[in-house]
Amino acid sequence: MRITVVNGPNLNMLGKRESGFYGTFTLADLEKAILDHVKGRAEVAFYQSNHEGEIITYLQNLGENDRLILNAASLTHTSIGIRDALNATKVPFVEVHISNVYAREEFRQKSYLSDIARGVIAGLGADGYLAAADYFIRNQK
């Protein structure tokens, strides 16, 4: 099993943007925390893009042994294309948000992905990714 972590637009700016919502950790810090947490219990791959089409292409190339932790960031609230790619590949995924999207602007409270996700984790910071990884490790089907 491979756990693939996909992060969307602006998450490459972690540590530099809105620390009240996103904390002070960087994307590299997040990836290291996930690798340290998984500790060989699964293979881990990371991908980040600011471009919707690149994310869609990446998702289309995931394999049947992939389990996906997806933080589509702002594309969560706008991208039917990402939803369609997830439906086409049928890769099991957990939707993760660093901030509590339900305590933010109203437009962030609508997700095009939640109803097809195995689960949604919002507001736990980096710990949300770790919880999603644990879920897939415990439930490898």
pLDDT in tens, 10-23: 999 988 865 566 56
Residue 64, exposed/middle/buried by CB under 10 A (0-12, 13-18, 19+)? exposed
Binding residue positions: 71, 77, 84, 98-99, 108
Per-residue pLDDT of 91-126, as tens digits, reads: 999 999 998 988 777 877 789 999 999 999 999 999
Q: Please report, in range form, the residues annotated as the binding site for substrate.
A: 71, 77, 84, 98-99, 108
Q: What is the pTM of this model?
A: 0.92
Cα distance between residue 51 and residue 76, in whole Å: 13
- Cα–Cα distance between 120 and 76 in angstroms, integer? 12
For the chain, the structural domain boundaries read 2-138
CATH class for the region spanning 2-138: alpha beta
By annotation, the residues acting in catalysis are: 22, 97
